[in-house]
Amino acid sequence: MKINKVISPLIILMIATGLVLWLYKTSEIDGLHKFIAGGFKGMVCGEDNKEKNNKDNNDNKGKIVSYGDKLSDSNLGVRKKINKNYLDFEGRDENISEIFADIKDEYEEFKNINDDLFGIVDIEGMDFNYPVMMSKTPNYYLNHDLFKNYSLFGCPYMGEGYSLINNNIVIYGHCINKDKMFGKLLSLKNKSVLDRLKRICLYSDGKLFEYEVVALLSINVDITDYRYWEIKDFKDEEAFAEYVDGIIENGIYVSEEKLKYGNYLMLSTCDNELGGGYRIVLVGRMLENGL
């Protein structure tokens, strides 16, 4: 009896310890401990998002909720593909580029699922291919997936008020961890990884826009004066010069010779390695007007 009395608390302690370790591990996943997101204001990080999540959880009681590996069985075939390639929960196949060989068909397939689809962003030289949404409701896709189900993973989306006619557009995406979604941008801090990138492609409404990589930025949005998320157009040469100065000032890596006047694309996510208000921003300059 005494042995049983000793063993029982030990078992309980072991179970409790295992649970704590499991919770710590899953804290790397967006929305459980660090709700890591891209951008500023448009996407909220850490404790700042707790109140909003609590409200959304209450609002979504009784609704289908997507956590990446749990999708309802309607459109099951398409959902399995999305689950593997978009949510990327189980990791991508090494030959994933074959799945996205025809980006036009992919766009049309996603567009049939959700008319809010703006385009598809793909980075040549790394495993990075995701739908990009645009909603009339600000930040809707911060916590909704392609199927408009509530999701802690959200879906990459265009910043509010941006369009392809702007000189600068910003796309936000969650940083779940370094192997998932926009968290993959953190690997670009390694110069050898960044150097392997060929270009950023953005497909939208029948046109393919290509951008050469010109910079990787690290910005603390809590203290910076460089409010890149508010920049849409360069009204004059001075405005463009200020845009370039901000890139150079905040750049981890910058190809200054490529910073010429034109249209730019920024992919923004939280830097959960540094935490706080830090963002990683990949910057590309458009090569073509559309193919």
Q: What is the pLDDT of residues 80-128, one digit of tens each?
A: 444 444 443 333 343 434 434 568 888 999 999 999 999 999 999 999 9
Instruction: Flag whether the pTM goes above 0.85.
Output: no
Task: Give CA 19 to chain center in angstroms.
Answer: 29
Q: Beta strand pairing status for 157-158 and 168-172?
A: antiparallel
Q: Give domain status of residue 56, yes or no.
A: yes
The pLDDT assigned to 88 comes to 39
Instruction: Give yes or no for residue 265 having a pLDDT over 80.
Output: yes
Q: Classify residue 18 as exposed, middle or buried by CB count within 10 Å of its CB (0-12, 13-18, 19+).
A: exposed
Catalytic residue among 155, 175, 201, 270: 270
Catalytic residue among 45, 144, 174, 201: 174
**Which one, of 272, 232, 281, lies nearest residue 254 by Cα?**
281
246 Cβ neighbours under 8 A, 6+ residues apart: 226, 228
Residue 144 falls in the annotated catalytic set: no
Q: Give domain status of residue 203, yes or no.
A: yes
Q: What is the pLDDT of residues 186-209, one digit of tens each?
A: 999 999 999 999 899 999 988 889
How many domains does the structure of the chain reveal?
1
**Weakest mean pLDDT among 32-46, 77-91, 270-284:** 32-46
Q: Give domain status of residue 202, yes or no.
A: yes
Q: Give domain status of residue 218, yes or no.
A: yes
Q: Give domain status of residue 33, yes or no.
A: no
CATH number, residue 215: 2.40.260.10
Residue 270 falls in the annotated catalytic set: yes
More confident residue, 25 or 242: 242
Q: Give domain status of residue 55, yes or no.
A: yes
- Residue 79: domain span: 50-286
Q: Give domain status of residue 65, yes or no.
A: yes
Query: What letter would DSSP give residue 137?
Result: S
The pLDDT assigned to 34 comes to 35
**Which one, of 40, 29, 85, 33, lies nearest residue 281 by Cα?**
40
Q: Give domain status of residue 235, yes or no.
A: yes
Query: What letter would DSSP give residue 58?
Result: H
